[in-house]
Amino acid sequence: MNSSLILSIITFVYGLAGFLYIFAWIFKKPAAAKIASWVAIVGLMGNTAGIILRWVESYRMGIGHAPFSNLYESLVFFAWTIALIYLVVERKAGNRTIGAFTMPIAFLAMAYASLKTGISSDIQPLIPALKSNWLIAHVITCFIGYAAFATSFGIGAMYLMRQGREAEAVTWLDIAKPLTLFIFVLLFSRVLLAGNWAMAIIIALPLCVLFYIGVLLVRRMPADVKNRLLGVFPEAAILDELGYQVTLFGFLFLSIGIISGAVWANSAWGRYWGWDPKETWSLITWFIYATLLHARLMRGWRGRRIAYLSLVGFAAVLFTYFGVNLLPGLHSYGAFSQ
Amino acid sequence: MNTKQSSDNASAIDQIWKSFASVKLTIGLLLTLAATSIVGTLIPQNEAPGAYLQSFGETLYRVFSLLGLFDMYHSWWFRALILLLVVNIIVCSIDRLQATWKIIFARNPRFNIARYRQLKNKTEFNQDGAAAHLKELYLPVISRRFRFHRTEDNDNGFAIYAEKGRLTRLGVYVVHLSVVILLIGGLIGSIFGFEGYVNLGPGDSAHTIQLRPDNQILPLGFEVRCDDFIVEFYDSGAPKEFRSSLSILKQGKVVAQKDIIVNDPLHFEGISFFQASYGQLSPTEMILNFTSQATGMIYSQTAAIGQPVVIPEDLGTFTLKKFTRQANFKGHNIGEAFVGELTPPNGQPIEVTLPLKFPSFDKMRKGQIIVAIADFVPRYYTGLQVSRDPGVWVVYTGFILMIIGIYITFFMSHQQLCVEVTTEGPKSQVMVAGTSNKNKMGMQKRVAQLAHRLENLPPP
Ligand code: HEM
């Protein structure tokens, strides 16, 4: 039994948990949701075991290092953190429908790590720049932050579904929404799936159309079905508060993540900040969430606007994580210029 | 007249002050900074003008150049945005601190019992025992949980006020201060610091370095020498370790010495030397293979630059001339190569190129003899990043303050509690109520728990 095998199995375990949460939500089967929680816990334990085993394996190979050094390992840790944060939120909120919106993200992260060609699951030796304890601190804190933002993204999406169209009309958003959605989906299909822009459009268009068909279906749904689906969500005010608490947690860790990255950069290259695209994008993300905090605290923004901001914030997180590789003239971290 | 003018002035200043204290401005600035920062990640920064001209064309190049987009994060307008943010933070913090100062630093915090009675989430219960007895019972429980407490007796009972975490209200100011300190540290670095590099082969030394980005020469005030440089690779070809043994010399005397690797620099008199890159130097010695076309024999010979080698079978002599990083063959760059000169016994010397990447390259010449590189000991130079940043400790102070400040602001709160006991005969009515400035839900739970505990205390 090696770690890669365990982690591939965990992909399916998370998938099953996500599926059960969604099933329990749509068909109103609390028993299934309970099973889902247990499946998620098993998944989290297996994920933990996989990470530890991978660590041990790297030492057996004589190139021992903490398993936080490449895209594959970071995705695995990302999934682990999402599952952990979600399970804590589930306990605190006493509501299992949130799992239908967050566990699938953990599943997608693992599935992407295992299936996407070009992401190697081999344990690789560390290049010199990565041999630093600051790197471990940096990766762990950043990904705790990212996972918290993923969770608040899921909660924000629930909030928007629950509030629907009635409350707090924000008309300019109605025009900007489809366009923004298309741009985001296009970008991410280009970054994550497609090798060129034409292909990305071919993927993105149907996705957006599907999304709007979904929205339309939900709007046309008979009132009783709608009530049944959305009635089991936590109350809007609780979703709002919960999302905010998770965002605070994410902001603390994003800050520590950026700071530890800066300290690492200073110990490796003699500069703590160089406006490298990755650094800059993490700062952009930080600015967006700082906006969210101030808007909520001082301008009294609540609900939909905050939910939208946390969607935009999470898009920035994803771009910091994956999208930066698309940008021109990038010297990625760890690359050792010759 | 005079007074009117001065009050006009005052109100104008007031207006400016207010607009700088506004959180609307903060939100606008933060979003603008986020949006504009994107631009600098789309346009590669600090490249050569030629590269920009080629990709953007003349007109766009002019416009972008005028807007400073090629070094965007140091452009006047980006700096102005940051300066605005700093002013915004400072003004806003002063403005709000004036209001909260009294709450935070009051010697004897004032308690208003009516306020607690109005709280929705209070707990009330009846308990046996008179006031004096209950006071003795409750005080230890409360004082264990709250740093500050005070008891006030009244006609038919007493009230205990307690609070803690008043100073956590300062957390947000610590965060804001940390942002300012960070930026001050950055400013100190950019005024008094520098960033440059120097490349040294083993045995080489330098008194000067070159600055980035414009390659100015900067004297160090001492000499840095590379005693040795080692590159190790993994089997996969990926680099494993770079190690430079450096010595610092003053007036020819070694005053400091250290082996540096990536992530472990040498510091000397405020200047730091980082292992940053490496590159190949011309090898001094190599083994050449000469293949005779006539007999098919292969002869191996050791050769050094500039020293002629006699080829067996009376095929002439060969002299290595030089090493080049970028050899040219019919207009193509064929990478690192040696250039040598082959002199047949009775003919003109011919120039022979021996690229490292293509060992059998010389076959193409179709000569009497094929020259190939069999082996050589690679020699590398070390690329050192040299920098001085006197602001770095200021920046690190800002980092620490920011983390502490954010933790305090998000996860700690100023909690206030009131326990009121009203006695009627042998029975007392007890009210427990509390608030906090943050995480009110959590505080409600804590108050409920405390009330439960007080209600079920065993009599002493
Ligand atoms: C990058 C810059 C900034 C950062 C990182 C930052 C960070 C924070 C944080 C973490 C909080 C606490 C939020 C909470 O309690 O949930 C906060 C609150 C606040 N910020 Fe900022 N802030 C920044 C800039 C500013 C600026 C420019 C202003 C100027 C108006 C400002 C005004 C405030 C105010 C008024 C509060 C609420 C304070 C209170 O609770 O009394 N912030 N900020």
Task: Say yes or no to pLDDT of A108 above 80.
Answer: yes
Determine the Cα–Cα distance for residues B107 and B366; give it in Å rounded to an integer.
98
Task: Say yes or no to pLDDT of A84 above 50.
Answer: yes
Q: Which residues are B324's β-sheet partners?
A: B337
* Domain definitions of chain A by residue range: 1-120
Determine the Cα–Cα distance for residues B189 and A202; give it in Å rounded to an integer.
48
Determine the Cα–Cα distance for residues A64 and A129; give it in Å rounded to an integer.
15
Angle of CA points B451, B453, B457, to nearest 5°: 120
Nearest Cα to A95, choosing from A34, A182, A161? A34
Determine the Cα–Cα distance for residues B422 and B11; give it in Å rounded to an integer.
52
Determine the Cα–Cα distance for residues B135 and B145; give it in Å rounded to an integer.
16
Check residue A168 and give its pLDDT: 52
DSSP A333: T
Give a yes or no: residue B178 inside a domain. Answer: no
Give a yes or no: residue B146 inside a domain. Answer: yes
Which of B388, B423, B446 represents a domain boundary (last residue)? B388
* Domain shared by B277 and B289, yes or no: no
Check residue B41 and give its pLDDT: 84
DSSP H or E stretch at residue B273: strand B271-281
Task: Say yes or no to pLDDT of A302 above 80.
Answer: no
- Identify which of B26, B181, B403 to mutate to test ligand 1's pocket (most ligand atoms within 8 A of the CB): B26
Q: How far is CA A155 from CA A93, A235, B363, in A?
A: 12, 11, 69
Total tally of structural domains belonging to chain B: 4
Q: Which of A27-31, A132-136, B182-186 has the highest mean predicted lDDT (pLDDT)?
A: B182-186
* Sheet containing B157-164: order of strands: B123-128, B427-436, B415-424, B157-164, B148-154
Q: What is the mean pLDDT of the segment spanning A196-217?
A: 82
Q: pLDDT tens-digit profile of B291-350?
A: 888 888 888 888 888 888 888 888 888 888 888 877 887 778 887 788 888 888 888 888
Task: Say yes or no to pLDDT of B21 above 60.
Answer: yes
Q: Concatenated DSSP letters for B234-268?
A: -TTS-EEEEEEEEEEEETTEEEEEEEEBTTB-EEE
Amino acid at B445: K
Instruction: Give the pairing type, strands B337-343 and B332-333.
Output: unpaired
pLDDT higher for B131 or B256?
A: B256
Give a yes or no: residue B199 inside a domain. Answer: yes
DSSP H or E stretch at residue A56: helix A30-60
Check residue A217 and give its pLDDT: 79
Task: Say yes or no to pLDDT of B284 above 80.
Answer: no
For this complex, say whether ipTM is above 0.90: no
pLDDT higher for B285 or A80?
A: A80
Q: pLDDT tens-digit profile of B376-422?
A: 777 888 889 999 999 999 999 999 999 999 999 999 998 999 998 88
CB contacts of A127 in chain B (<8 Å) are 238-240
Range of the domain at B24: 12-97
Check residue B231 and give its pLDDT: 84
Task: Say yes or no to pLDDT of B43 above 50.
Answer: yes
Cβ count within 10 A of residue B195: 19
* Domain shared by B158 and B126, yes or no: yes
* Domain shared by B301 and B316, yes or no: yes
Q: What is the mean pLDDT of the segment spanning A113-137?
A: 78
Check residue A125 and give its pLDDT: 77
Task: Say yes or no to pLDDT of A263 above 50.
Answer: yes
Determine the Cα–Cα distance for residues A2 and A21; give it in Å rounded to an integer.
29
* Domain shared by B32 and B47, yes or no: yes
A255 confidence band (pLDDT: 50, 70, 90): very high
Q: What is the mean pLDDT of the segment spanning A95-112?
A: 89
Check residue A128 and give its pLDDT: 77
* Domain shared by B317 and B339, yes or no: yes
Architecture of domain A1-120: Up-down Bundle (1.20)
* Domain shared by B49 and B93, yes or no: yes
Tokens of B123: 């707990």
Residues 6+ apart with CB under 8 A from B206: B198, B200, B220, B223, B224, B225
Task: Say yes or no to pLDDT of A58 above 70.
Answer: yes
Check residue B361 and give its pLDDT: 85
* Domain shared by B71 and B133, yes or no: no
Task: Say yes or no to pLDDT of A257 above 90.
Answer: yes
Determine the Cα–Cα distance for residues A256 and A93; give it in Å rounded to an integer.
26
**Phi, psi at A330, each rounded to 5°:** -90, 135
Alpha-carbon Rg for chain B in angstroms: 39
Which of B349, B373, B397 represents a domain boundary (last residue)? B373
Residues with CB under 6 A from ligand 1: A 290, 293-294, 297-298; B 23, 26, 85, 88-89, 92, 96, 172, 175-176, 179, 406, 409-410
Helices B171-192 & B76-105, crossing angle to 10 degrees?
A: 150
Nearest Cα to A76, choosing from A174, A24, A9? A9
Share of chain A above pLDDT 90, in %: 29
Residues B296-319 as b/e (b if ≥16 CB within 10 A, e otherwise) read eeeeebebebeeebebeeebbebb
Tokens of A282: 């993490």
Of A157-166, B82-91, B233-242, give the lowest mean pLDDT range: A157-166
Q: pLDDT tens-digit profile of B62-111?
A: 888 888 888 888 889 999 999 999 999 999 888 888 888 877 877 777 77
Task: Say yes or no to pLDDT of A7 above 80.
Answer: yes
Residue at token pair 């370095």? B209
A116 touches chain B (CB under 8 A): no
B178 confidence band (pLDDT: 50, 70, 90): very high
Task: Say yes or no to pLDDT of B58 above 50.
Answer: yes
Residues 6+ apart with CB under 8 A from B268: B222, B248, B255, B256
Q: Which of A132, A248, A295 sits opposite B263 (nearest CB)?
A: A132
Task: Say yes or no to pLDDT of A82 above 90.
Answer: yes
Count of H helices and E strands in chain B?
9, 22
Instruction: Give the pairing type, strands B369-376 and B350-355.
Output: unpaired
Pick among B24, B30, B267, B281 to test the A interface (most A CBs inside 10 A): B30
A331 touches chain B (CB under 8 A): no
Q: What is the mean pLDDT of the segment spanning A213-224?
A: 77
pLDDT higher for A193 or A112?
A: A112
Rounded distance from Cα B109 to ligand 1 centre (Å): 26
A172 confidence band (pLDDT: 50, 70, 90): low
Let me know: does B230 contact B247? Beta carbons within 8 Å. Answer: no
Instruction: Give the pairing type, strands B148-154 and B298-304.
Output: unpaired
Share of chain A above pLDDT 70, in %: 91
Find the distance separating the first CA and the last CA of chain A, reported in whole Å: 39
* Domain shared by B276 and B290, yes or no: no
Rounded distance from Cα B33 to ligand 1 centre (Å): 16
Q: What is the mean pLDDT of chain B?
A: 86
Determine the Cα–Cα distance for residues B205 and B202; give it in Å rounded to an integer.
9
Residue at token pair 């994580």? A321
Contact across the interface for A270 and B238, Cβ inside 8 Å = no
Q: What is the mean pLDDT of the segment spanning A228-241?
A: 80
CB contacts of B47 in chain A (<8 Å) are 329
* Domain shared by B82 and B132, yes or no: no
Instruction: Give the pairing type, strands B328-329 and B332-333.
Output: antiparallel
Rounded distance from Cα B402 to ligand 1 centre (Å): 12
Of A191-205, A310-324, B32-46, B112-126, give the lowest mean pLDDT range: A191-205
A277 confidence band (pLDDT: 50, 70, 90): confident
A170 confidence band (pLDDT: 50, 70, 90): low
pLDDT higher for A338 or A295?
A: A295
Q: pLDDT tens-digit profile of B104-159?
A: 877 777 778 888 888 888 888 888 877 788 888 888 888 888 888 888 888 888 88
Check residue B84 and give its pLDDT: 92
